[in-house]
A and B are shown apart, each in its own frame.
Chain A
Amino acid sequence: MKKKIVIIDYGLGNLRSVLRGLERAGAAPAITADPEAIASADGIVLPGVGAFRDGMEMLGGLADTVLAAANETPLLGICLGMQMLMDRSEEHGIHRGLGLVPGDVKRFVPAAGEKVPHMGWNTIHIDPGTPLFDGLHEEEYVYFVHSYYAAAAPANTIASTTYIRPFASAVNNGLTYGVQFHPEKSGAVGLKILENFIERVC
């Protein structure tokens, strides 16, 4: 049986690529905003592109559904979806996140000649013990596009990347995972991470 993975549809982001990526990685994914479907899924993906406050606003009442489900269902936040897992963000004012992973989201402060957004392929240094990165090398290239980064505790950091400063490129707390990069846009490495989420985490 293929695992049933729901992609939370709250009106933001490129859901199609996430859907096809999960299909390619062996899941039976569905894009949904239905609380029952979310509650009964084998795994949840919280995607997202854009601004933090808009993301939380558009998630709206679904936030409670996601929080309740996250107690017993593995969750993967991608990009803005990962940032929304954190306690707070300082993007355009201070805004509360879902609080599933301790830590704040901060803006990169670039020095002269450093560009923001951090856009392109950069290296992740992974914690080899985590099931999300099973079968990967300790350093892999993945695709990033973001202007804010998650400041997470070392205990919750399962991959780190350096751009302007070292930051958490992947986080974990219990059943909840988040990746700052886009696995659905990171070629074979990204598909392997999605496959690991489906097969090893869910």
Chain B
Amino acid sequence: MVLTKRIIPCLDLKDGRVVKGTHFVGLRDAGDPVELAQRYNEQGADEVVFLDITATREDRGTIIDVVQRAADQLFLPLTVGGGIRTIEDMKQILRAGADKVSINSSAVADPNLISQGAERFGTQCIVVAVDVRRNYETAPGKTPITLADGRECWYEVVTHGGSRGTGLDAVAWVREAEERGAGEILLTSMETDGTKEGFDIPITRAVSETVGIPVVASGGVGTLDHFYEGFTEGKADACLAASVFHYGEFTVRQVKEYLAGRGIPIRL
């Protein structure tokens, strides 16, 4: 037997309620996070991610109460991201019952946060979430990646829900995050997020081949085959999706049974 590939439903939260947007805007309220997480648990989710997507932009604190309620009822791994800026924020979230904290904009603003978090809580606790978009303007020092149509680009790290470019080369950034002690990379491409056209395979594969820590592919799943591609073409260790699960297009179990049927190692 081998380590199984993980299917991770993501719940985007605002004010303690679940929302899901396209390209991170146009949010729409849709339910209690703990209830929804429990449903995913029953369907065989390998892990659940809570992402407080508005936390950075509106300077909101984190979601201790939701995490506590979820951790009290769910006996499966829980990752929490959004608005985590300090070691103290991490401590509160972990003590509330989360297993991992995911940091994004705050890690870009201060990469020491990765090292300090890893030192204090262990590398396995620190997920570095990396949002990227394609940049077609060639620049020195950027990692060129060839797309399916033959065009070449590099991937730029973006923050604040995709609204801010950073000039950082995504491949260089994930390498640095790993060196600083990140235990996992959660990669979301703004090119595919919300499109239902599948994961952004070229960057997913490049990141998976660059780092020696697990990579979670995120953004763009619309079909069962997209999950399969994420694992085979993208070489991801886990696939994360929100809306296909949230709106009931597939259950987690359907996805896992499909993947197992195609030879992907899956926990059923």
* Chain A residues near B (Cβ < 8 Å): 14-17, 20-21, 24, 49-51, 80, 110, 114-123, 139, 141, 143-147, 162-163, 182, 184-188, 190-191
If A110-B212, A120-B46 touch, whether A16 touches B71 (CB-CB below 8 Å) is yes
Could you say which of B41, B97, B98, B119 has the most chain A C-beta atoms within 10 Å of its C-beta?
Answer: B97
If A51-B119, A116-B212, A145-B99 touch, whether A184 touches B75 (CB-CB below 8 Å) is yes
Whether B237 pairs with A24 at a CB distance below 8 angstroms is no
Q: Cα distance A119–B212 when bound, in Å?
A: 12
Which of B95, B121, B237 is close to A120, meaning CB atoms less than 8 Å apart? B237
Q: Cα distance A14–B211 when bound, in Å?
A: 27
Q: Cα distance A17–B211 when bound, in Å?
A: 30
Task: Report the interface size class on chain B.
Answer: 35 or more
Q: Closest CB-CB distance, B230 to chain A, in whole Å?
A: 15
Return chain B residues, CB-CB under 8 Å to A49: 94, 99, 121-122, 124-125
Whether A115 pairs with B213 at a CB distance below 8 angstroms is yes
If A123-B1, A184-B75, A185-B76 touch, whether A115 touches B237 (CB-CB below 8 Å) is yes
Whether A117 pairs with B213 at a CB distance below 8 angstroms is yes
Q: Closest CB-CB distance, A191 to chain B, in whole Å?
A: 6
Which of B76, B95, B184, B213 is close to A143, meaning CB atoms less than 8 Å apart? B76
Q: Cα distance A191–B74 when bound, in Å?
A: 11
Q: Closest CB-CB distance, A107 to chain B, in whole Å?
A: 12
Q: Closest CB-CB distance, A195 to chain B, in whole Å?
A: 12
Whether B267 pairs with A121 at a CB distance below 8 angstroms is yes
Q: Closest CB-CB distance, B123 to chain A, in whole Å?
A: 7
Whether A147 pairs with B214 at a CB distance below 8 angstroms is no
- 23 A–B pairs (Cβ distance < 8 Å), ordered by A: A14-B71, A14-B95, A16-B96, A17-B71, A20-B71, A49-B124, A49-B125, A50-B120, A115-B211, A115-B237, A119-B124, A119-B183, A120-B3, A120-B4, A121-B3, A141-B4, A143-B77, A146-B124, A162-B2, A182-B77, A185-B77, A187-B41, A187-B76
Return chain A residues, CB-CB under 8 Å to B5: 120
A-B pairs, 6 with minimum CB distance: A50-B122, A123-B1, A16-B97, A145-B124, A121-B267, A141-B267
Whether B2 pairs with A122 at a CB distance below 8 angstroms is yes
Q: Assess whether B197 is interfacial by the CB under 8 Å rule.
A: no
Taking A117-B214, A185-B75 as known contacts, 9 extra A-B pairs with beta carbons closer than 8 A to each other, sorted by chain A number, are A50-B125, A114-B212, A117-B183, A119-B183, A120-B3, A120-B214, A120-B238, A121-B3, A121-B46
Q: Closest CB-CB distance, A124 to chain B, in whole Å?
A: 9
Q: Cα distance A121–B76 when bound, in Å?
A: 10
Q: Cα distance A21–B121 when bound, in Å?
A: 21
Whether B75 pairs with A24 at a CB distance below 8 angstroms is yes
Return chain B residues, CB-CB under 8 Å to A190: 75
If A143-B76, A147-B124, A191-B75 touch, whether A119 touches B95 (CB-CB below 8 Å) is no
Return chain A residues, CB-CB under 8 Å to B98: 14
Return chain B residues, CB-CB under 8 Å to A115: 211-214, 237
Q: Cα distance A123–B183 when bound, in Å?
A: 21
Which of A24, A119, A162, A182 is close to B184, meaning CB atoms less than 8 Å apart? A119
Q: Closest CB-CB distance, A125 to chain B, in whole Å?
A: 8
Whether A117 pairs with B1 at a CB distance below 8 angstroms is no
Q: Closest CB-CB distance, A25 to chain B, in whole Å?
A: 10
| Chain B stretch 1-33: residues in CB contact (< 8 A) with chain A | 1-6
Question: Nearest A residue to B124 by beta-carbon distance?
Answer: A145
Q: Assess whether B72 is interfacial by the CB under 8 Å rule.
A: yes
Question: Nearest B residue to A162 by beta-carbon distance?
Answer: B1
Return chain B residues, CB-CB under 8 Å to A120: 3-6, 46, 214, 237-238
